[in-house]
Amino acid sequence: MTVTDGALASLSAVHKRYGDTIALAGLDLEVRPGELLSVLGPNGAGKSTAIALMLGLQAPDAGEARLFGRSPHDLAARRGVGVMMQEVALPDALRVRELVDMTRAYYPAPRTLAETIALAGVEKIAERPYAKLSGGQKRQAQFALAICGNPRLLFLDEPTTGLDVTARETMWTTLRGLVAAGTSIVLTTHYIEEAQALATRVVVMAKGRQVAAGTVAEMRALVSRKRIECATGVSRAVIEAWPEVTAVAADGAQVSITTAEAEAVVRRLLAADPHLAELEVRRAGLSEAFAELTQDADQDAGQPEAA
């Protein structure tokens, strides 16, 4: 992939290793203006490491990280971003309102205190000390800190972990409004439904590599695949050669076939094997589609993984 000149943040052929563990392996990634980019992947896929490099919190072993076309360490570039990471340490004694007001001071043109509190939906906890908040409430407070500077680019690393349904929906509504107003957002999540609901583009990572990318519509096309289960004497090699077949797994006579054209494959099976048995056809879920992508990556890379 070639990183475009207009990218707000980018990684180009980036490698990152922690001892013997490979975190990123030649990753190319870009954040485009006006998009909500959702980065999906299992734990250890390299999502958090990718964000840390774009923010300049870590340095790549090879390759290049850029933020607004500059070094991620450039102060002017850093003032254009808001950040919500998974691991956060904040002064316990300060109230949420005080934390927001303090963070606003670091930005050249921040949101007002009242606007930030309303956007983040933290009115009910604004006067409470940070130490007195529940885990989910702390995530809401951290979200307020991420958006208070009115950033052009917002990095959210698993932002809805620990939130109840109402709080999650509130955050989703706010994120949609921010994107509509011109803010670009990078969202890492392992909640597939969150990516479906919010993203304009999706990148799937596994083992430090990008294994799939596209618009939400393109990624949803993965679930048009169906899974055919049956017992058959037709060999795996023969089934794999059929043009309608995407993938085949076999355990003796038991075969599992992934395809977007189930009817055509069933007709082939019946024509090839008059003794076909235990036939079952079902739609592959989105989680299964991503599982296949990441499983393929696991088979291609035998290295230990990092977060």
**pLDDT for residue 182:** 95
DSSP string, 129-140: BGGGS-HHHHHH
Give the integer Cα–Cα distance in Å for 63 and 74.
18
Q: How far apart are CA 160 and CA 188, in angstroms?
A: 10
218-254 b/e (C-beta count within 10 Å ≥ 16 → b): ebeebbebbbbebebebeeeebeebeebbebebeeee
Question: Which domains, and CATH codes, for the chain?
Answer: 9-220 (3.40.50.300), 226-283 (3.30.70)
Condensed to tens digits (0 to 9), the pLDDT of residues 244-269 reads 998 899 999 999 998 989 999 999 99
Q: What is the DSSP string of 127-194?
A: TSBGGGS-HHHHHHHHHHHHHTT--SEEEEESTTTT--HHHHHHHHHHHHHHHHTT-EEEEEES-HHH
Per-residue model confidence (pLDDT) at position 287 = 60
Tell me which amino acid residue 145 is: L
User: What's the one-letter identity of residue 285?
Assistant: G
Beta bridge pairs of residue 38: 187, 202
What's the confidence (pLDDT) of residue 4? Answer: 54
pLDDT for the residue numbered 291: 67
pLDDT digits (tens, 9 = 90+) for 198-250: 999 999 888 898 888 888 777 766 667 788 999 999 999 999 999 999 889 99
Q: What pLDDT shows up at residue 217? A: 75
Q: What is the pLDDT of residue 9?
A: 97
State pTM to two decimals.
0.77
Closest CA to 305 of 51, 24, 9: 24
CA distance 299 to 31: 28
pLDDT, tens digit only, all 307 positions of the chain:
444 568 999 999 999 999 999 999 999 999 999 999 999 888 888 998 999 999 999 999 999 999 999 999 999 999 999 999 988 899 999 999 999 999 999 999 999 999 999 999 999 999 999 999 999 999 999 999 999 999 999 999 999 988 999 999 999 999 999 999 999 999 998 788 888 889 999 998 888 988 888 887 777 666 677 889 999 999 999 999 999 998 899 999 999 998 989 999 999 999 999 999 999 998 766 566 666 666 655 555 544 444 4
